[in-house]
Every structure is written in C-alpha cells, then in structure tokens.
Structure 1
C-alpha cells in the first residue's frame, strides 16, 4: 500500500495553477480527486474541533486517508515532557473515522535526542500508526532507531536543505516528507529526483505514506502525481 499526496491543501499560491477555476470551498475535494492522501497541518497550530475532521472526511472520496500532525503544544512547547493531558485532548478531537491515517510528530530543530525522554513519550502513545520527524543531527543514532523499532513508530525520512535527511526504516510502514530539495517549501522535484525516490520506496518494500511539502510555488500536487505514476499506484482513491 503506497499513498502519495501533499502536506495541506489551503494554498492561495495554487489558485492560478492547480486550483484554476476551482472555488475555494472545493479545493479539498478537488485535490482529493487527484491524490490518495493529504497531511492535515492545522492540527499542529491549534486544536481542531471534531466537526472540522468530520467535514474534511465528508469532502473526500471513499478509501481516502488523512495523516494528522500532532500539536506543537506537545512537540515544541512541552518538548515531549508531561504530555498526558494535551495528548488526551488532541486524540479526543479526532473524528476522521476510517479515513484516519498516521499521526506525525514533527520535532523542533533545537530538540536533541534524549533517550529517556523519547522512551517515555513513545510509551505514552496509543495504538495506531505514529511517525516521528526529528530535525536535529543527534537523532542519527542506533539508540534512536532501536527505540522506534521497539514501538513500531516510523522515522520520517525528510528531504530538505535546512535539516538532516536521515534515511531509516524503523516500522512496518514508511513515512516520507519531501519539503523541497534545494529551496525549502519551494523547489520542484525533477524527473531524476522522482526516479530516485521511487526506487527507495520500492527498496523499502512496505506500506508507505509520502507527502510533498514543496507547496509555496505549487509544485506539490504535480510532483505527487509524478511519483505515483512512477510507482504505478492510483492517482485517486477508490473503494
């Protein structure tokens, strides 16, 4: 199972390109007709009411999947410590039903790998698919990979010019975020780069979620479709 999509969908920059002649109220359904998954980013910045998740689920086709970014209150403010209460509140807000995919936890670039802290955090997570995106070089460590493997949490393989790209498969699924190789959130991936990522995904040989986050100039949906074609996976969800 390989699902490929974009990180978010509310981008005015796409108005004259991918969303040309599409009213804003239909942006989500339009994108969901061309990819099989989308990463919800709004949950990172503030708690979303269950009604929002139900609305988004209703606007997407059967078989569609959302990944949900965990709140920055947990990752950036509390920095993975003493998070039982906000975690319970966040999990209680989710209302995607069968369209619920992985939860991604994006760490701040100043957060170093501390084995005890990470172990406690991973032990607190409920069952389900979780992925962790560290942005500090100290996470390039066997002890980190071992912790994720023990808890079946995927290390997020991130491609960006401003933080390390650490390639490791640590769970029964893989999670990739492509932020733009040369310019963060901007650069489009060329044919050679898409070929390389397609081969890496084949080599990992496991369920994989891929999100293009190079959104600022509108490359993300087109890159997502290009990678999907290379891997022979559907360009849209189906029952």
Structure 2
C-alpha cells in the first residue's frame, strides 16, 4: 500500500444503547464509550452536527479523548442541504465552520454534506452550492464530500462538476441509493449499509473481503472494477479512504468495522 495513503474505517456515532454489552463491555461507564471505540476503530462519523450546532467544548473534549492518528468525519448541517435553492446556504455554511468544529484540529476529517433522497440534480443549483464550500478555514485545509440520494445524480455531468470543485462523491454501498464509485477528489468516502443480524461481524466473510479489497484499490489510486463508474478515470495517485459502516443491522456495525480494519491491516 502506498505510504502516502491511509484507510480510515469506522461507524456513525458512538452512543447507541444496543452496543452496550455487545460491543462495549457491560461494565464500561457511558462517559468512556468514545475513548473505547476510538481505540478499536480508526474513525467515527459525527452525526449530531447534521441536526444542530455542537459546543466548541464538545469538539475539544472529543479531540482530547481520542488517540493520535484518529480522525472524525463530520456531517454538515441539514440547514445548508435541505433547501430548494442551495445558493441560499452561505450563512449556514459559514455558521457551521465558526461553531467550533475546527477545534478538532488535526483530527478533523472530511465534511459530509448529505442531501435528502428527494433532492434532484440541477447542475446550476449544485454548482453554486459547491462554490460555497471553503477550501480552508481557520488555516486548516477542509475536505468536502457530498452524499446524494436521487437517481438524477448518476450522470457523467455530476462527476465532472464534483471533480471541478475537488469534492468527493460519497459511494453508497449495499443500499437502495445510486452508487457512484468515480474518484472526484484527493480522497474517497464510502458508506456501506448492508450489515445483517446473523453474521457475527454483520457481513459474510466474502463481502468483508470485497470491501477491504475495494478500499485498497481506492487507496492505490484506482477504482474497483466491480463498482459502477460514470466517467473516465482520473490519473492514478494514492488517496486516503474513509469507509463507514452505517445503518443496516446497526448492532453489528462496530464488529464489521473491526473486521475490515483487520483485513486492511494484512494488506499493508
């Protein structure tokens, strides 16, 4: 694996009651759950920022409770994405970056701008939104990813637009949403949603092997041949990969993430 790329694997959030006694030890204090998870996984996607602002003190606390090398991805606020006219999102975007999220410092990973499944692709509207996303804030480079869920986005035109702005298109795995695997930024962001109850690790071993192999291919700068691409590939170059096990049978998601980390570790 190229030395310049990293593969970060995790889940959405760290507070979920069914994880207590299944993933978390039964006697672990709730206040230590982030500490525990951040030593088992290599990243977490913060969901709370989608619904409302968090306090700067919270971001500082989360940064300090996690080990060196750990990274948080953060969802952008729904007030920016759940709009008819996306160009009107400027104030919400600016408020988000002044809310304290930069207190994560070196542990701030990509920002996931998630759109509702009813939001259709309008090239002019979406171009204006992408132009609002800052390349840096507070002296720190900001990586952006967009999670689109309407079939109208599955076009080469959308891929070209994302590449123009250096924004990653989030690849949806094992879900009902359109799957776009094209590389459009200097990193790749994947959310897989197919965990089940019966396999102990949420996925069968073959499926875990497939996702680990795909992550390795992206990290090397390629695109997995078994996933849908809509445009010609970009030049091959090492890229960081952020892969999150989301939804599905949520109780098993941390175990699936652990299994993927183990497989990826054998590839290094």
Report the TM-score when normalising by structure 2: 0.81
TM-superposed CA distance for 1:78, in Å, is 5.5
What's the secondary structure of 1:66's corresponding residue? strand
Q: Paired residue for 1:197? A: 211
Match 1:10 to one of 3, 15, 27: 15
TM-superposed CA distance for 1:144, in Å, is 0.4
Matching of residue 58 in structure 1 with residue 64 in structure 2: yes
TM-superposed CA distance for 1:182, in Å, is 6.9
Q: How does 1:24-173 map to 2 (within 5 A)?
A: 24-77=30-83, 80-93=86-99, 94=101, 95-127=103-135, 128-173=142-187
- CA 1:106 to 1:116, structure 2 compared with 1: closer, same or farther past 3 Å? same
Structure 1 unmatched runs, 5+: 235-239
CA shift digits 1:38-81 (9 cap, x unpaired): 11000001111111111111111122111000011111246633
Q: Paired residue for 2:224? A: none
CA shift digits 1:85-124 (9 cap, x unpaired): 1111111111211111110111100001110111111111
Conserved in 1, the CA contact under 8 Å of 2:196 and 2:249?
A: no
- CA 1:181 to 1:163, structure 2 compared with 1: closer, same or farther past 3 Å? farther
Q: Paired residue for 1:227? A: 260
Distance 1:67 1:217 in 2: 18
Distance 2:265 2:121 in 1: 37
Distance 2:240 2:104 in 1: 20
- CA 1:217 to 1:120, structure 2 compared with 1: closer, same or farther past 3 Å? closer
Distance 1:50 1:78 in 2: 30
Distance 2:240 2:115 in 1: 23
Distance 2:152 2:252 in 1: 31
1-10 vs 211-220, greater mean Cα deviation = 211-220
Structure 2 unmatched runs, 5+: 1-5, 136-141, 221-238
What's the secondary structure of 2:9's corresponding residue? strand
TM-superposed CA distance for 1:151, in Å, is 1.1
TM-superposed CA distance for 1:158, in Å, is 1.0
172-181 vs 123-132, greater mean Cα deviation = 172-181
Aligned alpha-carbon RMSD (Å):
1.9
What's the secondary structure of 2:181's corresponding residue? coil
